[in-house]
C-alpha cells in the first residue's frame, strides 16, 4: 500500500506504532472500487458488442453480422463515483445494451425520486444533499428545475381534465400567494375546488389563478368547472366571499350554498371584546348542535336576545343577518353534517400549500405558482388521502327520497 496511507511514528513501549490516515484510505479504496466497477462494466459492454457482431472484436468470421466503428463515452453516476463507460459503435446493427437500458431505468427512477421529493415539500438545497448521500453525485438546482418542467405537462393535463363523475358537495376557497407582477411583488389568489364524488371520495377538481377573489374571478372559475363537466352539485361550501356567493346562481342555480360555520364564528368574535369571547363562542356554537333547521332558527332568536342583553350590538347584527346562511347543511343527511357545515376540509389543504409555498417566497409568474400548487395537491390526492372513502353517499340518495316523499 502507498506510504502516504500508512505512516510509522517513533517507537513506543513495545516498538513502532503504525497510524492510518483514514481519509487517504477511503480515497484509495474509492479509486480502487471505481476502477474495478468501471473496468467490469466496460468489459460487459464489449461482450455485448461481440454478441451483436456474432464475432470477437478482431476475429475474422464469415458469420460476422457487423464490425466495430469505435466508441463514445457515456458518464454514469454511481455510488462508487462518476464512471466513464466506453459504449461501442457498430456499423451494421444498432448497439442496444442491457446495461444502458438498466441505466436509463435508473435515471428515470432518480428523476421520479427528485420530483417526488420536491413535490413532497423538500427544499431544493435538501434535495441536493439527499442526492449526494444516495448516489454520490450532487444534483444542481437547475437540474431539479429541469426535471420538474418535465412533468408540468402531465400535471396540467390532470388539472384541466374532464370531470366525468358527479360531485354533490363542492368546497371552494382562495389561497393568497405572492407573485411578481409588472416588476412588483403583489398578493394574488389561487382558487381551489374540492369535490366529494358520487362514491364519497374526495377529489381536487379545480385550480386556477384569480387576480383577486371578486365576482369576475369566481365567475371565470365556475365557468371553467362547468365547461369541464362539473355536474350534480347539491351544495357549495365556502366562506362568505361576496363575489363567489353572487356567481354561484349564474352557473348552478339549483345548488345551495353553505356559509362556513367556523368563518361565521370568527366574524362574530371580531365584534366581541376579548374578555367575553369564550362565553360568546359557547353561545353561538349552540346554533349548530340542533336536531333540525327549525330548531336552529328558534335557537337563533334566543341567542340574539342574549347578545342584546350583553349589549353586543354588532354581534347581534352578524348573527341575525348571517345565521341562516350557515344552516343549509341541515337539509342534508345528519351523518354528513359534521363534514359539510364548515370549509375545514379545504382549509387543511390550504395550510399545507402555504407551508410549501413559504419556502419559495414570491413566484416569478402564474404558471410556476399554479404548477407547484397543482403538483402538491395531485401528490396528496393519489396517496392515502384520496383513497379513503370520506362519506357514505348512499345516505344522500336516501335523504332525497325521504324529502320527495315528505313533499308529496
In the prediction, which pLDDT does 228 show?
97
The Cα–Cα gap between 85 and 100 comes to 10
HSE, CB side, 13 Å, CA atoms: give it for residue 214. 4
The pLDDT assigned to 116 comes to 55
Q: Strands 169-181, 235-238: parallel, antiparallel or unpaired by DSSP?
A: parallel
What is the model's pLDDT at position 350?
A: 80
Write down the pLDDT at residue 296. 97
Q: What is the pLDDT of residue 9?
A: 46
pLDDT of residue 174: 87
Mean pLDDT (10-residue bins), the chain, 408 residues: 45 47 50 62 79 82 84 69 79 71 53 56 66 62 67 82 96 79 68 95 91 85 97 96 94 97 96 96 97 97 97 96 97 96 88 70 66 79 79 89 58
Give the residue among 358, 351, 340, 346 at the shortest CA–CA distance from 396.
Answer: 340
Residue 364, pLDDT score: 60
Q: Per-domain residue ranges for the chain?
A: 1-96, 164-404
Note the pLDDT of residue 8. Answer: 45
The whole-angstrom separation of Cα 65 and Cα 163 is: 54
pTM over 0.85: no
Residue indicated by cell numbers 500500500: 1
What local confidence, expressed as pLDDT, does residue 206 receive?
95
Amino acid at each position: 500500500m502507498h506510504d502516504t496511507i500508512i505512516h510509522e511514528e517513533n517507537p513506543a513501549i513495545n516498538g513502532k506504532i503504525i497510524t492510518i490516515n483514514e481519509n487517504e484510505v477511503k480515497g484509495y479504496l474509492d479509486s480502487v472500487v471505481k476502477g474495478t466497477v468501471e473496468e467490469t462494466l466496460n468489459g460487459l459492454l464489449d461482450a455485448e458488442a461481440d454478441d451483436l457482431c456474432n464475432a470477437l472484436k478482431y476475429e475474422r468470421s464469415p458469420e460476422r453480422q457487423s464490425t466495430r466503428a469505435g466508441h463514445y463515452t457515456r458518464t454514469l453516476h454511481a455510488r462508487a463515483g462518476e464512471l466513464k463507460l466506453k459504449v461501442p459503435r457498430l456499423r451494421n446493427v444498432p448497439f442496444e445494451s442491457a446495461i444502458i437500458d438498466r441505466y436509463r431505468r435508473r435515471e428515470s427512477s432518480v428523476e421520479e425520486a427528485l420530483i417526488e421529493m420536491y413535490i413532497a415539500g423538500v427544499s431544493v438545497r435538501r434535495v441536493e444533499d439527499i442526492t449526494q448521500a444516495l448516489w454520490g453525485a450532487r444534483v444542481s438546482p437547475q437540474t431539479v428545475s429541469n426535471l420538474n418542467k418535465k412533468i408540468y405537462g402531465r400535471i396540467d393535463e390532470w388539472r384541466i381534465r374532464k370531470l366525468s363523475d358527479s360531485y354533490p358537495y363542492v368546497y371552494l376557497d382562495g389561497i393568497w400567494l405572492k407573485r411578481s407582477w409588472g416588476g412588483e411583488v403583489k398578493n394574488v389568489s389561487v382558487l381551489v375546488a374540492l369535490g366529494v364524488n358520487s362514491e364519497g371520495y374526495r377529489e381536487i377538481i379545480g385550480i386556477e389563478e384569480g387576480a383577486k377573489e371578486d365576482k369576475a374571478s369566481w365567475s371565470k372559475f365556475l365557468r371553467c368547472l362547468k365547461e369541464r363537466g362539473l355536474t350534480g352539485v347539491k351544495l357549495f361550501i365556502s366562506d362568505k366571499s361576496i363575489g363567489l356567493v353572487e356567481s354561484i346562481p349564474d352557473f348552478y342555480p339549483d345548488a345551495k350554498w353553505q356559509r362556513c360555520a367556523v368563518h361565521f364564528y370568527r366574524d362574530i368574535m371580531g365584534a366581541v371584546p376579548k374578555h367575553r369571547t369564550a362565553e360568546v363562542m359557547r353561545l353561538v356554537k349552540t346554533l349548530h348542535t340542533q336536531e333540525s333547521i327549525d330548531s336552529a332558527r328558534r335557537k337563533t332568536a334566543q341567542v340574539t336576545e342574549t347578545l342584546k342583553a350583553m349589549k353586543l350590538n354588532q354581534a347581534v347584527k352578524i348573527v341575525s343577518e348571517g345565521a341562516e346562511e350557515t344552516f343549509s347543511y341541515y337539509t342534508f343527511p345528519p351523518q354528513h353534517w359534521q363534514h359539510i357545515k364548515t370549509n375545514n376540509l379545504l382549509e387543511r389543504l390550504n395550510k399545507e400549500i402555504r407551508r410549501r409555498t413559504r419556502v419559495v417566497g414570491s413566484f416569478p409568474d402564474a404558471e410556476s405558482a399554479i404548477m407547484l400548487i397543482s403538483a402538491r395537491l395531485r401528490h396528496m390526492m393519489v396517496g392515502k388521502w384520496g383513497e379513503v372513502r370520506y362519506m357514505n353517499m348512499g345516505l344522500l340518495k336516501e335523504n332525497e327520497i325521504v324529502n320527495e316523499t315528505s313533499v308529496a
